[in-house]
Structure 1
Amino acid sequence: MTALVIAEDDADIRDLLVYKLMQEGFDVTAVGDGPAALDAVTREIPDLVILDVMMPGMSGLDVCQKLRSEPATKNLPVILLTARAQETDVEAGFGVGADDYVTKPFSPRELLSRVHAVLARVGQ
């Protein structure tokens, strides 16, 4: 089963993501902040990580950058999920190594399509 870690501080969005991704057959671990995301990823490296950009403790950008700096997680697929949609925000997301960037509000079906596309690119 494909394992995902979701880090999203908004409980409603997090619950929606967990529900939709589990319906698709993914094994999902959900957390509410950046440090918890790093802990979850390092405990058991998932197949893909979805990170909210603006979270307490540590931003999704910082988490992504940290994952890219570690040999065990440097190639781990990361999707950033955020309300920040300016061109400079998107550039910053890709600049820290994100594989995709999804802006809120988003369609759960679109996010599922992007999850499948990123996993297909990395051979999952």
Structure 2
Amino acid sequence: MARIIVAEDDTALAERLQSALMTAGHGVGVLDNGEDALKVIRSRHPDLVILDCQMPKLSGIRVLEEMRKSTDLWDTPAMMLAERRGDNDVARALYAGANDFVKKPVDADELVFRAEGLLEHSGRRTKRAREALHVA
């Protein structure tokens, strides 16, 4: 089980993503603005962060930039959600250090698949699984 933060201001989409990720066995917290998301990310140190590029108070890209400057969060995998026509957002997100991006409308199953790929690649899911099983 990975700990995942989803920061998305579209309530229906956020609930759909939370449900899909929880069904896949992950713990998921949802926030609707970037300012609150950054506070929670700093205090909880999640295994994966999923950020909407355009959010109130602080954009997902700014949240990501702050994460990449942090000695505690710089290597936390981050997936960005971007509007279908937001090619500029995608380029900015990748430049800011996003590990992956998904264009809206989001297919929840694809997002779970890609999220789990990021977790496996980062070793975070495997590490947590070992800790849970008390395997050295």
TM interval, short-chain normalised: over 0.9
Q: Map of 1:1-124 to 2, 5 A cutoff? A: 1-123=1-123, 124=125
Preserved contact between residue 29 and residue 40 of structure 1 (Cα < 8 Å): no
Q: What are structure 2's unaligned runs of at least 5 residues? A: 126-136
For residues 36 and 8 of structure 1, the distance between their equivalents in structure 2, rounded to whole angstroms, comes to 11
Structure 1 residue identity aligned to 2:91: E
Greater CA drift, 67-76 or 82-91: 82-91
Count of aligned positions: 124
For residues 91-124 of structure 1, the C-alpha deviation after alignment (integer angstroms, 9 at most, x for no partner) is 2110000000100012111101110111111112
Q: Which residue of 1 aligns with 2:134?
A: none
Preserved contact between residue 64 and residue 97 of structure 2 (Cα < 8 Å): yes
For residues 53 and 18 of structure 1, the distance between their equivalents in structure 2, rounded to whole angstroms, comes to 18
Greater share of helix residues, 1 or 2? 2
SS in 2 for 1:5: strand
Q: What are structure 1's unaligned runs of at least 5 residues? A: none
Q: Measure how far apart 1:87 and its partner are.
A: 3.8
**Larger radius of gyration between Structure 1 and Structure 2:** 2
The share of aligned pairs that are identical, in percent, is 34
Structure 1 residue identity aligned to 2:46: P
TM-score (norm 2): 0.87
For residues 122 and 14 of structure 1, the distance between their equivalents in structure 2, rounded to whole angstroms, comes to 24
Q: Measure how far apart 1:82 and its partner are.
A: 1.6
TM-score (norm 1): 0.95
For residues 10 and 88 of structure 1, the distance between their equivalents in structure 2, rounded to whole angstroms, comes to 20
SS in 2 for 1:38: helix
Greater CA drift, 58-67 or 80-89: 80-89
